[in-house]
Amino acid sequence: MTRLTVATAFENAGLALPSTHIKSNTNNRDGTPCCRSVQQQAFTVTASHPLTWADAHGATVRCLNVQESAVLMGFTPTWKLPEGSRLGIHAVGNAVPPPMAGAILRCAIEAVRVHASPSPLPIPPHAESNECGSHALSPSHAKRERIVSYAKFRSLKRRVDALEVCVMRGASVDE
């Protein structure tokens, strides 16, 4: 996953930048507004307070709209966002950025592939002996535990496989 500047994100989306700076609703220690150039990364997009376009001195130009906030979060133009400014800002601000969600899912899918085995999981060596004291499992109990663990693993693998299908079909999850 690549970190982008505000300017690069807008360029990739084919949108013009309304201003040279962006600011959050917080202040620096000296009381001045927290303001960044569009050549830097954006502040975090939140559901409660939209980011604001500003000039170089921190004077407000206007709030970011839903589409602009979605661009900063990594949503593609094909995503269907709620109608209306307030609902859209809340939806985008509460969302997991699609590129990050895609990266997490790809890692989970790869982890399942790497650890997938066609046969049940082996019985741990200590489970077949009484060397562990009263906590040792009998061979029959260990076999039941192995079968239950394998069933849980297969269930997880089916879920990840289903997520993989969704990721592969969805044009909105970027590399």
Segment 105-163, tens digit of pLDDT:
888 887 777 766 555 545 455 444 444 444 455 566 555 555 656 666 677 777 777 76
Return the beta strands (E) in the chain as ranges. Answer: 21-27, 33-37, 52-54, 60-63
Counting the structural domains of the chain, the total is 2
State whether 29 and 15 are in the same domain. yes
The model's confidence at residue 173, banded by pLDDT at 50, 70 and 90, is: very low
State whether 84 and 115 are in the same domain. no
Report the alpha-carbon distance of residue 85 to residue 138 in Å, rounded: 62
Give the pLDDT confidence of 21-50 residue by residue, as tens digits. Answer: 999 988 889 988 899 999 999 888 988 888
State whether 15 and 79 are in the same domain. yes
pLDDT over threshold 70, residue 79: yes
Number of CB atoms found within 10 A of residue 173's CB: 19
> What is the per-residue burial (b if ≥16 Cβ within 10 Å, else e) of 138-165?
eeeebeeebeeeeeebeeeeeebeebbe
Residue 125 is predicted with a pLDDT of: 52
Provide the CA 120 distance to its chain's centre, in angstroms: 32
Token pair in block for residue 56: 């170089």
Last-in-domain residue among 94, 119, 153: 94
User: Which of these, 67, 65, 14, 20, lies nearest to 39 by C-alpha position?
Assistant: 20
- 49 is a domain residue: yes
Residue 19 is predicted with a pLDDT of: 94
State whether 11 and 87 are in the same domain. yes
State whether 66 and 10 are in the same domain. yes
- 54 is a domain residue: yes
- 175 is a domain residue: no
What residues contact 10, with CB distance under 8 A and at least 6 apart? 16, 17, 38, 68, 71
Query: What pTM, to 2 d.p., does this model score?
Result: 0.63
Last-in-domain residue among 94, 116, 138: 94
User: Which of these, 65, 64, 55, 63, lies nearest to 21 by C-alpha position?
Assistant: 55
Give the pLDDT confidence of 42-68 residue by residue, as tens digits. Answer: 888 988 888 999 998 888 999 999 999
What residues contact 155, with CB distance under 8 A and at least 6 apart? none
State whether 14 and 89 are in the same domain. yes
142 lies in which domain range? Answer: 98-169
Last-in-domain residue among 62, 94, 126: 94
